A and B are shown apart, each in its own frame.
Chain A
């Protein structure tokens, strides 16, 4: 196996994303997964061998050390990922521990744990030459296979499965209210075929660059919808699948320039907050006074506003704030933590949070305009990350 590149300067800051052997989106994904595993105590259920897939593992059946070794491997792997230490190896170790746990026990097998293991293993096998394509292929394969399995199942096609499954797991009364308004089995059949179509749609749209964003949105809506209807997380699927969509995106190589009005108190607070936490200097902040020309923004368009510029695209006001949030890695941690809290702590309204987050990042707020004059080239993101580390 290729020797992992050592960072030029190791930074144990969990909010630093430079100087490791994984690019920012994949490192962010790995850290979010690691945090999820820790907060959800997923590592606690790793089993001792019991009815293993591989009979040779029965040799360790009465060895408590087996399960403890797996648990320690996951804990140490998660810590290493969060602290930017040999991140690819750490992902490989963590993923392999879960995979070995599955092989050691049939009752322990769950698709969400297997997906977690595969994702971490593939993050560990990342090579710059291949890019993120192994992880992208994994996601596409899962959705394609899941959709195919449903399509070929008569009880899915007829709606019979969804009709029964909803009676057990859906806990929103409005669903059953709507069901009572429609002919028998109509809603179940609609939900079945919608799920099949969405999963196929995700698999297909993720294949192509132009349609990728739609695939990601479909996937996020599917996860949020399932969680809203049932308040279930399906193990770690609800967290890990959306996190893995980061493999389809790249941070702007030229970085993000943010112009803010010094007379705007809100803008100054945003600058202060983000500036303090932006360890890798992903954002270049430029203060302006109203009435002073900026090459990117005509004087007559100045208001008490924020402007975010990525290449030739300019965002202002709330759209700029949204873009800052989208490209600020710490925001993802802030989104994840409340979603991992027990339902009771959020008064059983945790399932509303994903819908709120999706609305905030919704494309309806994504209006951008082209710059009239191209900005001076900002320091490249790659350089900033090197320097930051």
Chain B
């Protein structure tokens, strides 16, 4: 029984590794530790008020700006989940500005069009 549980845990991870090849995010079991360097900044407007860095950090459990060592898709997933659940009534407008490895500056906005 123990062996079966252990094998199941490993097989789930293998499935996650394969799944990671098909999606841009890297979450549980994808095993891409510190493989990314995304410099980002989050700007959030709620009721036309710009949130401070501390308020932004508290809203998403992340710093308002910094270098993120997971794919930028992970950041988007966090923002999306926050705004679709706890922040559904806030109608927040979020701008995520980022670049990957000194590449061109990119922008992602919530709500997504």
When chains A and B are docked, how far (Å) is the Cα of A167 from the Cα of B49? Answer: 35
Asked whether any CB of chain B lies closer than 8 Å to the CB of A126, the reply is yes
B103 to chain A, nearest CB (A): 8
| A121-B6, A130-B2, A145-B13 known, 15 other contacts, Cβ within 8 Å | A50-B61, A107-B60, A107-B78, A109-B28, A115-B33, A142-B33, A145-B30, A145-B32, A146-B32, A149-B26, A149-B32, A153-B35, A160-B101, A160-B103, A168-B39
Within 76-118 of A, Cβ neighbours of B (below 8 Å) are at 102, 105-109, 111-112, 114-115, 118
Interface residues of B (CB under 8 A from A): 1-3, 5-7, 9-10, 13-14, 17, 20-21, 26-37, 39, 60-62, 67, 74, 77-78, 81-82, 85-86, 100-103
Size of interface on A: residues with Cβ below 8 Å to B: 47
- Asked whether B9 lies within 8 Å of A156 as measured between CB atoms, the reply is no
The SS class assigned to the A binding surface is: helix
When chains A and B are docked, how far (Å) is the Cα of A121 from the Cα of B31? Answer: 17
- Asked whether A118 lies within 8 Å of B62 as measured between CB atoms, the reply is no
- Asked whether B14 lies within 8 Å of A152 as measured between CB atoms, the reply is no
Q: Name the residue of chain A whose CB is nearest to the CB of B5.
A: A125
- Asked whether A148 lies within 8 Å of B17 as measured between CB atoms, the reply is yes
Choice from A1, A2, A53, A152 contacting B27 with Cβ under 8 Å: A53
Asked whether any CB of chain B lies closer than 8 Å to the CB of A122, the reply is yes
**Which 10 residue pairs across A and B have the least CB separation, nearest first?**
A107-B61, A145-B31, A111-B33, A134-B6, A125-B6, A164-B101, A149-B32, A125-B2, A165-B37, A145-B17
When chains A and B are docked, how far (Å) is the Cα of A106 from the Cα of B84? Answer: 14
- Known contacts A51-B81, A164-B37, A164-B102: A149-B6 contact under CB 8 Å: no
- Known contacts A149-B30, A152-B21: A126-B2 contact under CB 8 Å: yes
Q: Name the residue of chain B whose CB is nearest to the CB of A134.
A: B6
Task: Collect the chain B residues with CB atoms within 8 Å of residue A142's CB.
Answer: 31, 33
- Asked whether B101 lies within 8 Å of A163 as measured between CB atoms, the reply is yes
- Asked whether A237 lies within 8 Å of B33 as measured between CB atoms, the reply is yes
Task: Collect the chain B residues with CB atoms within 8 Å of residue A150's CB.
Answer: 35
Of B5, B6, B36, most buried by chain A (CB within 10 Å of CB) is B6
Asked whether any CB of chain B lies closer than 8 Å to the CB of A141, the reply is yes
When chains A and B are docked, how far (Å) is the Cα of A1 from the Cα of B4? Answer: 10
- Asked whether A122 lies within 8 Å of B81 as measured between CB atoms, the reply is no
Task: Collect the chain A residues with CB atoms within 8 Å of residue B7's CB.
Answer: 134
- Asked whether A161 lies within 8 Å of B28 as measured between CB atoms, the reply is no
Contact with B along A230-245 (1 / 0, CB 8 A): 0000100100000000
Interface residues of A (CB under 8 A from B): 1-2, 50-51, 53, 55, 58, 102, 105-109, 111-112, 114-115, 118, 121-122, 125-127, 129-130, 134, 137-138, 141-142, 145-146, 148-150, 152-153, 155-156, 160-161, 163-165, 168, 234, 237
When chains A and B are docked, how far (Å) is the Cα of A129 from the Cα of B9? Answer: 18
Task: Collect the chain A residues with CB atoms within 8 Å of residue B10's CB.
Answer: 134, 137-138, 141
When chains A and B are docked, how far (Å) is the Cα of A126 from the Cα of B35? Answer: 31
When chains A and B are docked, how far (Å) is the Cα of A4 from the Cα of B10? Answer: 22
Choice from A106, A122, A146 contacting B31 with Cβ under 8 Å: A146
Task: Collect the chain B residues with CB atoms within 8 Å of residue A156's CB.
Answer: 35
Choice from A53, A55, A127 contacting B28 with Cβ under 8 Å: A53
24 examples of A-B residue contacts, CB within 8 angstroms: A50-B61, A51-B78, A53-B28, A58-B85, A102-B28, A106-B78, A107-B78, A121-B9, A122-B6, A130-B2, A134-B3, A134-B7, A138-B10, A141-B10, A142-B31, A145-B17, A145-B20, A145-B31, A146-B35, A150-B35, A152-B21, A160-B102, A163-B102, A234-B33
When chains A and B are docked, how far (Å) is the Cα of A108 from the Cα of B27? Answer: 11
When chains A and B are docked, how far (Å) is the Cα of A130 from the Cα of B81? Answer: 41
Task: Collect the chain B residues with CB atoms within 8 Å of residue A145's CB.
Answer: 13, 17, 20, 30-32
Task: Collect the chain A residues with CB atoms within 8 Å of residue B13's CB.
Answer: 118, 138, 141, 145
